[in-house]
Chain A
Amino acid sequence: MPNDKDYNKVNVLIVGAGPAGLSCAIQLKVQKPDADICVLEKAADLGNHNLSGAVLETEPLHTLLDTAIPGWRDSESAKDVLAKKIRKDNVMFLLGKELSFNISFTIKLAKKFGLGFGQMMHKNDYIVSISKLTKWLGQIAKELGVEVLTGFAAEDIILDESTGMTKAVKLVDQGLDKEGRKQPNFVEGETIRADFVVLAEGCDGLLTEKFVEKAGLKRRCPQLYSVGVKELIKVNSRQYKKFTSGRVVHAMGYPIWTPVLGPGLFGGGIIYPADDDNIVVGMIVGADWKYRDFNPQDALTNFKNHRFVKQFIAGGTVIEAGAKMIPEGGYYSIPRDPQTGSIGKGNCIIAGDSAGFVNMLKIKGLHNAIDSAIAAAKAIVEYSDNPSATAAKYTELIESSNVAKEMRSARNFRQTVAKFGPLQGMPISVLGGLLPEFKIEEDYKAMTAARYRLKPKQQFDKDTFTAMAATEHREEQPCHLEILDSKICAEKCTPKFNSPCITFCPAGVYETVHDVVKPANPSNCLHCKTCQRKCPFDNIRWTVPEGTGGPRYKRM
Chain B
Amino acid sequence: MAGGYSGKILRVNLTTKQIGTIDTAKYEEFGGGHGIGSAIFFDLVGDQLPFPAFDPRNLIIMIASPFSGTSVPGSGRCEVQGLGPMLYPIEWFGHSNFGGRFTAQLKFAGWDGIVVEGAAQDPVWINIVNDKVSIESARGIWGMDTWDTQDEISRRVLPQLKHGEWAELSNDANTTQVPAVVCCGPAGENKSRLGALLHGPGSQAALCGFGGVFGSKNLKAISAIGTGVVPIADPKALMDARLWFRQFLWDVDNPREAERFGGVFPYTLIGGSPSGGNILNRELPLTPARAAACASCPRGCRMRLSTADSNESVCAGTMMINVDGSVKFTRQGNDLMQKYGLGHWQLRPTMNYAMLLYKEGVLGKGKQIESDIPFDREGTFDYAAAIMRAIALREGAGNELAEGAARLAEKLGRYKQDVDSGKLKLTYWGLEEHYDTAIAAEWAFGSILGERDLMLHMIANYPIHWMAMSGDPYLTAEETAKLYADAMVPYQGDVFMVDYSDGPTGIYSDSTVKLVAWTKHYEKFWIGAGGFCGWRWPMCITNNTADRRGPTPQAEPRFWNAVTGKNISFADGMEIGHKIYTLDRAIWCLQGRHRDMEVFPDYAYEEKTSGYDVPMYIDGKWQYANGAGRTLDRGKVEDFKTRFYKFEGYNPENGYPTRATLEKTGLTRVADTLQSKGKLG
Whether A associates with B in a native complex is no
| Residues of chain A at the chain B interface (Cβ within 8 Å) | none
